[in-house]
C-alpha cells in the first residue's frame, strides 16, 4: 500500500510510521515542515520530504497514494493566538489542499481532528483559533465525502502522551512537561485549584486505533 503521512516526523506521525513500516507491503512517504517535527524521528525504509502541505500537489505531482494520514497541522491551543497567521496557513490553507490532492489520487484520508471542539458541551469550538479552524476542516472533510465521494476516517485526539512527546520549549505537552520535571527531581506544575480532570491517551493506543 502506498501511504503518505503528513507530519511524519512529529510525535504522533513518527509513532504511526514506526508501526506502519513493519508491514513490508507498505511504501511510506512523510511530508513534514519540521515546525515541531524532528529529523531524529526518521526511521529506515521511509522517504522523508521537507515541505508544506499547501504545496502538496506540486511536491507529489507525479505520485499517487492509497491512504493519506493527515497529521501535519498546527496543534496547540494556547499558542494559536500568537501564531494565528501560521495556524491559518497550516489548517485553512494546507488542509483543503490535502483533501483536494486525496480526491485526485482517489486516496482515503485519515484525519487527526481535535477533541478541543467538544469542551463545555461544544462551546469551546470557538474558544481559540486552533479549535475553530480544526472544527471547520472536519466539516469540509465530511462535505468532500458528500460532494465528491472522498473516503475518510476521523480520529479525535485527547491529550496524547508517550514515547517521543515534546518535553521542552513552548510546544511541550502537559505530560511531557511532567516527565521532564519528574526526571529532574522537580515538583510537577499543577495550576489552581488542582482538582481538574483531563482525558489522556497513550500514543500507542492512537496508533493501534
Summary mean pLDDT of the chain: 92
- pLDDT in the model for residue 157: 86
Q: Report strand pairing: 201-202 vs 46-50.
A: unpaired
Dump strand ranges (E) for 9-86.
27-32, 46-50, 67-70
pLDDT 10s digits, 68-119 = 999 999 887 788 899 999 999 999 999 999 999 999 999 999 999 988 767 6
Higher pLDDT among residues 206 and 118, named by residue: 206
CB 53 within 8 Å of CB 94: yes
Pairing of strands 201-202, 67-70: unpaired
Report pLDDT digits (tens) over 10-45: 999 999 999 999 999 999 999 999 999 999 999 999
Q: How many CB atoms lie within 10 A of CB 49?
A: 12
Residue 117: what pLDDT?
66
Question: Residue length, the chain?
Answer: 209
Provide the pLDDT confidence category of residue 170 given band limits of 50, 70 and 90.
confident
Q: What is the pLDDT of residue 159?
A: 86
Rounded to 10 deg, the angle between the 129-148 and 95-105 helix axes is 20
Q: With b meaning 16 or more CB within 10 Å and e meaning fewer, what string describes 130-160?
A: bbbbbbbbbeebeebeeeeebebeeeebeeb
Amino acid at each position: 500500500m502506498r501511504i503518505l503521512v503528513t507530519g511524519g516526523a512529529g510525535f504522533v506521525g513518527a509513532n504511526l510510521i514506526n508501526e506502519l513500516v513493519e508491514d513490508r507491503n507498505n511504501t511510506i512517504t512523510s511530508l513534514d515542515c519540521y515546525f515541531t517535527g524532528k529529523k531524529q524521528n526518521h526511521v529506515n525504509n521511509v522517504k522523508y520530504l521537507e515541505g508544506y502541505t499547501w504545496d502538496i500537489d506540486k511536491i507529489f505531482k507525479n505520485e499517487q497514494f492509497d491512504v493519506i494520514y493527515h497529521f501535519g497541522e498546527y496543534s496547540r491551543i494556547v499558542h494559536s493566538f500568537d501564531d494565528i497567521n501560521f495556524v491559518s496557513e497550516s489548517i485553512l490553507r494546507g488542509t483543503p489542499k490535502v483533501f483536494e490532492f486525496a480526491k485526485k489520487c482517489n486516496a482515503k484520508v485519515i484525519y487527526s481532528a481535535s477533541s478541543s471542539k467538544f469542551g463545555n458541551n461544544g462551546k469551546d469550538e470557538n474558544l481559540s483559533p486552533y479549535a475553530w479552524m480544526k472544527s471547520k476542516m472536519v466539516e469540509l472533510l465530511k462535505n468532500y465525502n458528500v460532494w465528491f465521494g472522498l473516503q475518510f476516517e476521523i480520529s479525535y485526539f485527547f491529550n496524547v502522551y508517550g514515547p517521543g512527546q515534546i518535553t521542552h520549549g513552548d510546544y511541550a505537552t502537559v505530560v511531557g512537561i511532567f516527565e521532564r520535571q519528574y526526571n529532574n527531581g522537580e515538583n510537577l506544575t499543577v495550576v489552581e485549584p488542582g482538582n481538574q480532570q483531563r482525558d489522556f491517551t497513550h500514543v500507542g493506543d492512537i496508533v493501534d486505533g
